[in-house]
Structure formats: C-alpha cells, structure tokens
C-alpha cells in the first residue's frame, strides 16, 4: 500500500480520452457532471468549449470529425441534455462522423428513486447511436472510455454514447486505459471488381461516389477512370466532405428536387457505387418513384460505406487500365464576372464563388437559396465543401464551430438559410467566445421556402393562408444584425451585390466570427 | 357509390382532433406533414402556432395543458423534429401534463430505403411518452387520434405520441372518429384514510401536497385540516401549478438545496402524501442521504398522482372532523415596501411581489435568483404559480406561450435565468408573432450560478479557472435587449429598483410581449 492518492473515475476518464487522442470537449455540463468538470480543470490537454444548448455541442462534434478525422467528445447532462443533442447526432450519424458522447447519469442508487431528471438515457441514446454503454463502476470507466474512442473510429465513423453514473465519476479506483488501435475498414467487394470495370464504359455508365471517395486524391483517380472509360461521375445529393476548386477533379451532385433527380439519373444503365448508396428520394411523394435510377439499370455496390474506399478506387482504376490516363473533369481556375445591382440567386452564387478563400471551408446549409451555388463555384480557389447529410436543419452553425476548431488556420464560410440558422442560433455565442474565424451568410428569405415547393410536390395545390402562414418567417421579420450582436458577433446587412462584396471582404479579412444578413 | 369526395387521412385526423376538443397545434412542420398542413388550412377550428424549434412547441403544449386542463397537439417533423422536442416533453411528463404529439413519418414503403431523415421514431418517442402508436392506414388515423386524445387525459395527464406515415395522411379513406370519454381517475387509497387522519396531529406531522391538491379549493380544505389537527402543510420542491395570493391558503415548498431540505423535513415523524411523492434529493451527493425525510418517519401515501385527489382531500377533511373548521394559513393581503436603489435578490423579490397582477400567471424558472421570491409573494394579488418540474432547463419561455394562449385574458409574468432562457430563446419570436401578453424578466447573472453551488455540494472545493469558465456566460455578455428586439419583442434593461419598477409597469400595461433584462 502506497500513499499515492487514488484517482477517481472522472480523472481516469479524462486521462484516457486525452491519451486516446481526444483533444476537444463540446459541452453543457450539469450537477451530475461536476466531477468531470473538476477533472478537466486540473488535467491539461482537453479544450473545453461551452455551448448554450446541446444541439450546438453535438453539431460541433460532427463538424470537428469531418475536418479533423478524429473524434471530439461531448459532455451532456443526463437524458434531457442528450435529447437536446439528438438531432445533430442524427446528422452526424448519417454523415458517418465519429463522436464520443459522455452523458452524466444519476448515481446508481439514485436512479430507482425516479428524481425529476431521471430518464431512460440508454433508450434516448440508442436510436442515434451505434454503441451505447453505461459504465458500472469507477474501475471500469477508463477501459470503457478507451473502447468508446475505438468504437467511434469504426469506419466510416460511429456515434458512441458512454453513460457515466455520477458515483462512477466521484468514487476512487479509476484506472487510465491505454489507447486502443483504430479499427481497420472492412475490405471492399473485390469479387465485383471486374464486373465494375466492365460496367463503366461510355456515357450511359455512371461512377457514383460518396463519403471517403471524395478526397482530392480519390477524385483524381475517379477522373482518370472517367477519362479512360467515358463513364460519368456524380456524387450523392449531399456530401459529408468534398474537396473542390481549381485544379481538382470536379464532380456534380444528384439534385435534391425529385423531378430533377429522376431526369439526371435516367440515362444511366450501369452504375457503380463507391462510398455511396443507390439514389433514393429524400421523401416519398404520391405517384412518384422512390428509387431514382432507371428501373432497368444495373447497380453494382463495389465499396459501401465502412469499407476500404481508397483501395477500391485504386483497384478499379487499375482494372480499367486508367492508371496512367490523365484525369478528366479537372476544373480550370475561373471566376464569374463581378456581379452588380440587386442580389439574385445567380448574383449571390457568383459573389460566393469570388469570395471563397484559398483553402477555405464552406459549410453549406443554404437549402433552396444554394441550389445555384455548386456549378458556379467549380473553378473557385481550392476549398472543402460540407453538406447537411441527415436533413435535420440547424447543422450549419454548430458544424462550423467544430470545423473552425479542427482547422484554426483555415477560414470557414458558413452558408445558411434563416430557418436553419434559428434552430441552433445559440451557436453564435460560442463562436464569439472562442473567437472562431467564421464568416456567416444568413439567407433571409423569411420563409421555409423549401416547403412551399414541397406542398406542390406532395400534391397540395393552391395552399391557403393558414398553410402559407405556417411556412412563413416574416411576421415578425428576424433582424439578424441585432441577433448576432446580442451574442457578441459583429454583423452587417447586405441588400445589393456591392454591399455583399464589401461585407464579405470585411468578414473574411477579420479574424473571428462575422455575420452577413443577405436580404432576399 | 356516390360522388362525394373521400376524405384523406390527414383530414380525418384534423376533424377528429377538433371534435375531441383539441383546439391548438404548436408546430414546426416539414415535407412529411404537408397534407396535415393542407388539412389545417381548409378545416376551421384549430389555432396553428409556429415555433422555430420544436422545444418551443412541446414546452408550449405543457404550459397550455397546465392552464387549460386539456391537451394541445404538436405537429413535429419526423425523428429529428421529435428529438428536438424531447427535453420539454420530459418536463411535461414530470408535470403530469397531457400532450398529443403528431409526428410525421415517411410513407411505409419509403422507410426501408433508409432515406436521410429516416430514424427509429417509436424508439425516440418511447422514453418520454406514456403512449406510442404508428397509425397503419388512412382508415385508422381517425380512431387512433381519438384514442390518443383520450390517452393524453389519463390522470394526471400523459404524453402521447401518434406517428403518422405520410401515405396514411394523403391516402383517402379517412374516417372521423367521435370523441372518447375522458378517463376517470383511479380511486385513492381509502383503506388508509383512518390511519392518515390519526397520523395528522401536532406540529411533528406533515400533510405534503402536490399536483391536483394545489387548487384553490383543495388548499382551502388542507387549511381546514391543518387548523383542526395542528399538522404542517408543505408542497413539493416544484409544482406544476399552484394557486396563491391574498385570501388563499398559503403553502410553502420543500427547498431545493439538499441541506435546507433535510433541515426542513427533519421535524416530521408522520407524513401523509396527497398528489405528492415522498421527498428525495434532486441529485445524489456523495455522503448525503437521497431520501430527505427522517429515516424513522412514517409515510402514508393516501393519494398518489393519477388518483382522485379531490375526493381524497375531502374524505380526509371529514375523517379529521375539520369540515367546519376555518382554514389556517390564509394569506393576508400584504405587499413589501417599495424597494429602492440597487437590485438585490431581496429587492427583486419585493418588486415582483408588488408587480404580480390580479389573476396573473407566474411562470417561474428563476433557478438560483428566485429562491427569495416565494415567501415574499405570499400576500400578493391572487395568481397562479408554475414551476419547472422536470429539471430540464428551457421550459419557462415556451410554457409561457402555452399559458398565454390558454388564458388570453390573463397576464403572464415569466421569470427566467439567462442560462435557461437561452435554451429556447426562439420562443420570443413566437410570442411576438402571436402578440402574447407576456412580460419576461431575464435574470442576467451571466453564469450557471446553480452549478457553482453544486460543485461544492458534490465535494469539489476551490474550482480552478477552466471549471469556472465552463459555468460562466459572461464572455461575451449576452445583450438581452438586442436579442429580444431581433425577434420583434420590445425590451428594456433595468439596473436599479427604480428602472425595474418602471419597466414592469410598462411591460404589464402593454398588451403583447415585453422583455426586461434584470442586471444582477
């Protein structure tokens, strides 16, 4: 027996997370997490980022993973704190992001008393998590934490929820666990390789890419395959992370609106999937198909998410004899002309293309406003483009926080609809607090514009005043400049192309967050 | 065969809800709910209230139930929309409020395709719901809706989640179902009546009341019992709804801080529970008991939540021979002196006591700031006081919306900490849109002050800078006046008692929402 003071469970957790490479904790803690907070206080190595609502914390962890390629932790207060974070965990799950949630729980003896904050935390976690565990004792917390970090890194990335009863945090007996290896990705479907190589030939064949296939190097390989075989390239409707810009292989997207998607995919008779899923409708619409490809198309899944995408693309390139073929679709540096006058969807797209900074990160939740942005930004400075992959709005601002923390030397341009931005508006405060280099464009069309189209798509013609009212944000109009300033973020409004150009220059020149309200 | 157009499922739902007495729908709809929106558009009788985040919608439904004593509906978009509303459903569940959630779902044929918004909606609903059902077809929607409204009214009130696949909404064949009767409450424990009457005698006996026991009439009866038997009266730490003020029987509360709670409850050797649960700690604390009453106390549960509370109190009164005894503890009309100078917790309490309007509704989530409010407001004008019963912060502003809609002729005074208010700050916009008569006091202490105390309670002495920083909201300071104005709510800041008095007079005089930032 020595007189070394014993470590408590919370301390073993913090040490283990840090040793396992987890460097950031996005949090809103409560009483049941106070020992964790105390451990974070006296153990160096974890950046703690406070969020005023847990949706900000989980969305930030998603953005962090996508850019850092390693998990952040979140620290959430019991069932309700986790519940507030669920919708952005949903988005993270659909993006294939790895997130390590640490969720406080009452002490084991207290749970049966059904105190006000008691809830079925495992039950709340399960629908949005790949891995759920409640640590039974201070002794097991370290090991559980190491396994949680490992589980978060199962390809492409998993949502992990580790529940920590407060007595397991405050009791002594904590044991720091060494880091566990990052699990290898599953092998791709090598037996389909020859068939895939044969399928790709001519403009009625499509190589559809997603997830890890959208790195600069993998797109370069896809470009070679396209050049050699004449196949077309497309990415999914929405991509967790896509490298783009002048000098890189350009790839289009399957459109969101169902009729455009059907039209786009109709020509393809042979489709090879790498990191992507077979295209389906975002929603079901009466009288329209749910599967968007030609019913007679042959679809070959060469490398589903979670498999070794890099190896699949390289092998396909070799099997296609394209190894030495120069890639097709390399985007030339080209910026649209400087737009003038009123802001339209087209002039806005041009303005954004001109403003994207070299090596910038574009966080895109521009919904209807942004449909024109993608082709026009093809030849802009090199940048990374991130989409909302789960469809739960309110992802953009939190994810921008995570991206900015993962990449402190890169500028983040956050493009968001006003309806989306309001979902997690508390993000602005965290941006100000952490002085994050994020320029935000809020597209103030004062409505859930997308739903006006959807009313027609589902067959509701001539919506009346009550329906229109439920999709409108103009009564009262939100004042985004005041909103931003109330949380310590400087802001300007832009009503013309000239205003917008000046505001973008100001915002991007200045270190720290800056919000531009784009009046539409 | 006739040529009458057939009703679709969504229309049968709206008709059935209205026929069953559901008059309000708090919503943020999406594509899968468009047929419901269309039905709400052309069928009169449902007030639709748009929220910019679902936590606002579910919290509003909680506040509505508490004041209207009948359920509102919510309309939520798929799993993530429900997820955003869960934490205020948790609060509503702990309050015994009845809420009818209508949750859109993909068409049945679409679910298996695992579209971006697909999630396990039943799994998400279950932890916070008493009743969960997915309606299988347009034909069943009406019946399911009538049963849902009935289930929400099982005493004391239940959370009901009815999931509506979009094809059940758009298919024809909908059948309006007639309203089902409100279920009767369970009988109270009549076999314990004599023992309970014997137990209550002298100042070491306690009648502990909660839920439905806190109506004006029931408190009058409790006052008679106290006068006759010499027992003490207390209510739970937090009450879903309590009638108070001059001329009514005053009842104190079990304090929140654990040491005060233990001290308060220590004298009682015999405790009778009506509508209340045996007092336990809000959290577990190392080395402190979880059960707050004397370990030797006899506790008799005469009428748990869900039983006939009114009958239990009347029977107990009769068994105690107190039927003709004038009630004890009737509060005299008495206001504190007009405070002057700087705002302190005591002068603030005095100011609030003086400001409470006749027949006002006080929505209280003042957390640490509000601990002084309760005794001082005892002799104020008659009012209804509502607390956060589930401990998930962010309940006050949404619940104020629901209360104002339930009681358009009464003024609502919302008392909220700044940390709590930020959780569901989007509520301000809905208040402006609906022109609700709510005066909001935001207590800007710029910290999660409660957690500073909790650090000590759980045994963490001398917190360091990182810990303090995780509990502080002062970097940057939130500007509540700009925040409110950005969402169309007029606002003022008060830094002295004189400012505050003037601002309260302005706010309460004026119809519509008004926010006062109270600098602490």
A345-519 CATH pick, 3.30.1860.10, 3.30.70.960, 2.60.120.10, 3.40.50.970: 3.40.50.970
Tokens found for residue A157: 């990335």
Residues with pLDDT less than 50, chain B: 1-3
Q: Is the pLDDT of residue A2 over 50?
A: no
CA distance B168 to chain A (A): 11
Measured between CA atoms, the residue of chain B closest to residue A37 is: B467
Using an 8 Å CB-CB cutoff, list chain A residues near B282.
31, 115-117
Q: What is the CATH number of domain A9-170?
A: 3.40.50.970
Inter-chain CB proximity B90 and A79 less than 8 Å = yes
- Which of A217, A426, A483, A433 minimizes the C-alpha distance to A327? A217
Find the closest chain A residue to B291 by CA distance: A113
Q: Where are the beta strands (DSSP E) in A395-437?
A: 412-417
Contact B81, B28 (CB under 8 A): yes
Tokens at B149, concatenated: 């409204």
Nearest to A467 among B37, B282, B481 (CB): B37
Two tokens, residue A405: 């923390």
The backbone region for A391, taken as left when phi is positive above 0, alpha when psi lies in -120 to 50, beta otherwise, is: left
pLDDT value of residue A1:
38
Could you read off the pLDDT of A71-107 as tens digits, one per residue?
999 999 999 999 999 999 999 999 999 999 999 999 9
Q: What is the rounded CA–CA span in Å between residue B57 and residue B102?
A: 12
- State the average pLDDT over residues A341-362: 96
Does position A358 have pLDDT exceeding 80, yes or no? yes
Mutate to test the interface with B, among A41, A101, A485 (most CBs of B within 10 A): A41
pLDDT value of position A3: 45
Binary contact (B115, A487; C-beta < 8 A):
no
Closest-CA distance, B318 to chain A, in angstroms, reads 32
Sequence-ordered alpha helix ranges (H) in B73-192: 78-95, 108-111, 121-125, 138-152, 166-170
What secondary structure does DSSP assign to A284-334, as a single string? --TTS-SB-S-TT-EEEEEE-TTB-HHHHHHHHHHHTT-TTSPPS-BPPP-
Classify residue A22 as left (phi > 0), alpha (psi -120 to 50) or beta.
beta
d(CA A157, CA A162): 16
Nearest CA in chain A to B288: A110
Does residue A177 carry a pLDDT above 80?
Answer: yes
> pLDDT tens, A428-461?
999 999 999 999 999 998 888 888 888 887 777 7
The nearest alpha carbon in chain B to A467 belongs to B41
Amino acid A5: pLDDT: 65
The CATH H-level (homologous superfamily) assignment of domain B190-319 is TPP-binding domain (3.40.50.1220)
Distance from CA of B327 to the nearest CA of A (A): 31
Cβ neighbours for A264, distance < 8 A, ≥ 6 positions apart: A234, A254, A255
Q: Tell me the per-residue pLDDT of A281-314, one tens digit each, with 9 for 90 and over.
A: 988 888 899 999 999 999 999 999 999 999 999 9
pLDDT in tens, A20-71: 999 999 999 998 889 999 999 899 999 999 999 999 999 999 999 999 999 9
Assigned token pair, A104: 């406080």
Residue of A nearest to B466 (CA): A41
Of A34, A86, A481, the CB nearest to B460: A34
By Cβ distance, the residue of B34, B110, B470 closest to A48 is: B470
What was the ipTM of the complex prediction? 0.97
Q: Domain residue spans in chain A?
A: 9-170, 190-319, 345-519
Q: Which two tokens stand for residue B447?
A: 């910290």
pLDDT for res B328: 98
- What DSSP line would sit under B494-519, residue for residue? E-BHHHHHHHHHHHHHSSS-EEEEEE
Is the pLDDT score of A473 beyond 80? yes
**Are the C-beta atoms of residues B447 and B473 closer than 8 Å to each other?**
yes
Strand partners, A304: none
DSSP state, residue A22: -
Q: Is the pLDDT of residue A504 over 50?
A: yes
What is residue B369's predicted lDDT score, i.e. its pLDDT? 82
Q: Measured between alpha carbons, how far is B196 from B485 in angstroms, rounded to an integer? A: 54
Chain A residue with CA closest to B278: the answer is A113
In this complex, which of A41, A390, A467 lies closest to B117 when CB atoms are compared? A390
Q: Is A215 helix (H, G, I), strand (E, B) or coil?
A: coil
A57: helix, strand or coil: helix
What is this structure's pTM? 0.97
Q: Residue A4 pLDDT more than 60?
A: no
User: How does DSSP assign A59-128, residue by residue?
Assistant: HHHHHHHHHHSSPEEEEE-HHHHHHHHHHHHHHHHHHT--EEEEEEE--HHHHTT--TT---HHHHHGGG
Q: Write out chain B residues lying below 8 Å of A391, CB-based.
A: 80, 115-117
Same-fold call for B9-170 versus B190-319: yes
- Tens-digit pLDDT profile for residues A322-334: 999 999 999 999 9
Which of B106, B471, B488 has its CB closest to that of A284?
B106
Please state, rounded to an integer, the average pLDDT across all residues of chain A.
95
Of B31, B81, B94, the CB nearest to A458: B31
Q: Are A77 and A29 in contact (CB under 8 A)?
A: yes
């Amino acid at each position: 027996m020595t007189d070394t003071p014993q470590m408590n469970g919370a301390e073993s957790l913090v040490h283990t997370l840090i040793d396992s490479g987890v460097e950031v904790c996005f949090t809103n803690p409560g009483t049941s997490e106070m020992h964790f907070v105390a451990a974070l206080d006296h153990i160096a190595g974890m950046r703690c980022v406070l969020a005023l609502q847990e949706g900000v914390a989980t969305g930030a962890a998603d953005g962090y993973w996508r850019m850092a390629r390693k998990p952040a932790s979140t620290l959430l207060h019991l069932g309700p704190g986790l519940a507030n974070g669920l919708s952005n965990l949903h988005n993270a799950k659909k993006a294939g992001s790895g997130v390590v949630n640490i969720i406080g729980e009452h002490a084991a003896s207290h749970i049966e008393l059904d105190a006000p904050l008691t809830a079925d935390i495992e039950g709340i976690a399960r629908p949005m998590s790949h891995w759920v565990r409640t640590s039974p004792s201070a002794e097991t917390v370290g090991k559980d934490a190491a396994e949680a970090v490992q589980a978060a890194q199962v390809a492409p990335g998993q949502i992990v929820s580790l529940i920590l009863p407060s007595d397991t945090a405050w009791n002594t007996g904590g044991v720091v666990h060494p880091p566990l290896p990052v699990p290898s990705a599953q092998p791709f479907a090598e037996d389909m390789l020859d068939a895939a190589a044969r399928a790709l030939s001519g403009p009625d064949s499509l190589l559809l890419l997603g997830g890890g296939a959208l790195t600069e190097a993998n797109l370069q390989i896809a470009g070679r395959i396209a050049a050699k075989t004449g196949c077309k390239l497309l990415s999914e409707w929405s991509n967790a992370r896509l490298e783009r810009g002048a000098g890189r292989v350009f790839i289009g997207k399957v459109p969101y609106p169902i009729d455009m998607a059907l039209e786009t995919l109709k020509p393809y008779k042979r489709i090879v999937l790498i990191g992507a899923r077979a295209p389906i409708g975002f929603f079901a619409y009466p009288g329209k198909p749910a599967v968007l490809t030609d019913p007679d198309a042959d679809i070959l899944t060469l490398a589903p998410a979670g498999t070794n995408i890099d190896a699949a693309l390289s092998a396909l390139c070799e099997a296609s004899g394209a190894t030495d073929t120069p890639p097709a679709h390399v985007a030339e540096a080209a910026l649209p002309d400087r737009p003038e006058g009123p802001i339209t969807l087209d002039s806005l797209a041009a303005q954004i293309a001109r403003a994207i900074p070299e090596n910038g990160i574009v966080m895109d939740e521009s919904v209807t406003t942004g449909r024109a942005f993608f082709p026009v930004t093809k030849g802009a400075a090199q940048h990374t483009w991130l989409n909302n992959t789960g469809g739960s709005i309110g992802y953009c601002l939190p994810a921008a926080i995570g991206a900015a923390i993962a990449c402190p030397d890169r500028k983040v341009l956050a493009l968001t609809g006003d309806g989306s931005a309001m979902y997690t508006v508390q993000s602005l405060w965290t941006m100000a607090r952490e002085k994050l280099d994020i320029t935000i464009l809020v597209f103030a069309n004062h409505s859930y514009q997308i739903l006006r189209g959807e009313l027609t798509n589902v067959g509701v013609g001539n919506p009346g005043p009550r329906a229109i009212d439920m999709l409108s944000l103009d009564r009262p109009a939100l004042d985004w400049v005041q909103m931003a300033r109330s949380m310590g973020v400087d802001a300007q409004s832009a009503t013309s192309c000239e205003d917008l150009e000046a505001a973008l220059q100001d915002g991007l020149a200045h270190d720290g967050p800056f919000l531009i309200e784009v009046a539409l």
